[in-house]
Homo-oligomer: A and B are copies of this chain.
Amino acid sequence: MKRRTLLAGAALALIKTAAGQVVQTLAPGDPTKTPGPPPSTLGTRSGFEQPRLIASDTSSRTPLQSLMGIITPSDLHFQRHHGGVPTIDPFKYELLIHGMVERPTVFTLRDLRRFPSVSRICFLECSGNFRSGKPNMTAQEICGLTSQAEWTGVLLSTLLREVGVHPSATWFLAEGSDAAVMTRSIPLHKGWDDAMIAYGQNGEALRPEQGYPARLLLPGWEGNTNVKWIRRIEVSDGPFMTREETAKYTYAIGGGKFRQFSFEMDARSIITFPSYPQQIDKGWVEIQGLAWSGRGRIGRVEVSTDAGRQWAPAQLHGPVLPKAHTRFSYLWQWDGRPTEIMCRATDETGYRQPTLSGLAAARGGHTDGYHLNPITAWEIRRDGQVFFKPEKWK
């Protein structure tokens, strides 16, 4: 076997990226013959790899089917804005904590960064993270409103001790400084638990799309409560009944009832490989995906390769962190016959991810709202092509 023939390559390549763009990239026939560019002050992506969010007017979705491991690159973190992305001057930034407190205080960014800091890897998911309908949908389209980062900041409990909270306080208002003045009421116990004022993401400052210079982070709780560009916290003895928790972020649960405050994101999982529009070959296939729960650690993930008749345990890849995307895999020998594959997650509380019909039954037939976390099935066709298989439950 000759090295020369092994390594000879084309001079010009026309590449179709995962996002469907065609890019031209010059790759030398033999890269060992031509010195490449020297070290740079900022690394770049390969011209052959151009992952992208899918953006609408109000949100953009993470390409889950292209990701590996558990970290979402910061520029591929999903976005959901209510008034666009504001530009905040970090030297003028201020966070006011007031209301039922002993010492109403304004914190500058420098103040926030002087307090003891914490970092944690956890997911963030929009409560409206479910779409369905047609076979040619990617994981990104179905549930790309979830991402994961290593967040750094100060525990809100540290700040609450600093300002001195009244014993009878039970809620607080979190207010952002975007054009929507995004506002949510949060039970105070979350503030004493693991809530953070985050100013760091994946090792560096927050990105503007994620709330620069500081956001509220409520690990495991629905995305919109993690108020970005946070400028004000008002401690109180009841919820504020803001627009976002009356007109929005409530959903029908049957019998004319609506669920208004539903903070925890329930356990969920999705197979990201193989998934649409990928194609597999006969033989060994490593089924891979992500599982997560807003209530704690993932306890187990099961995979079915026969449309839900039998389930087998998947392998969880460590570290299995609480309230965090956890990668799982399952080795499967595909015999070439059409089938359906799916996964379901159970978290450490024992809660198990439902089917869409199970969800609908529990909500009096309604599935048009928030907090939809159904089992996602992929159809494998004879030629190895993979398509989304929406569950019909009506």
Contacts and interface: CB of A to CB of B under 8 A. Distances in A.
Interface of A: 1, 3, 6-7, 9-10, 13, 15, 25-28, 31-49, 51-60, 66-77, 79-81, 83-92, 94, 96, 98, 104, 106, 114-119, 121, 150-152, 177-179, 181, 199-200, 202-210, 212-213, 229, 231-232, 284-286, 288, 317, 319, 321, 327, 329, 331
Contact of A329 (B57, B88, B117): B117
Nearest to A212: B46
Contacts of A87: 25-28, 31, 36, 46-47
Which label, helix, strand, loop or mixed, suits the secondary structure of the A interface? Answer: loop
B200 A68 contact: yes
Contacts of A6: 94, 96, 106
Nearest to A176: B32
Given A10-B92, A31-B87, A39-B79, A202 B59 contact: no
Nearest to A53: B41
Given A40-B53, A52-B41, A75-B44, A9 B89 contact: yes
8 nearest A-B residue pairs (beta carbon) = A36-B84, A31-B86, A68-B200, A69-B119, A27-B89, A43-B75, A39-B60, A68-B152
A195 to B, nearest CB: 17
B89 A25 contact: yes
A43 B10 contact: no
Contact of A88 (B27, B60, B69, B117): B27
Residue from A43, A119, A181, A321 with most neighbouring chain B CB atoms (10 Å): A43
Nearest to A77: B43
Contacts of A115: 286
B39 A58 contact: yes
Contacts of A25: 87, 89
Nearest to A280: B114
Contacts of A210: 43
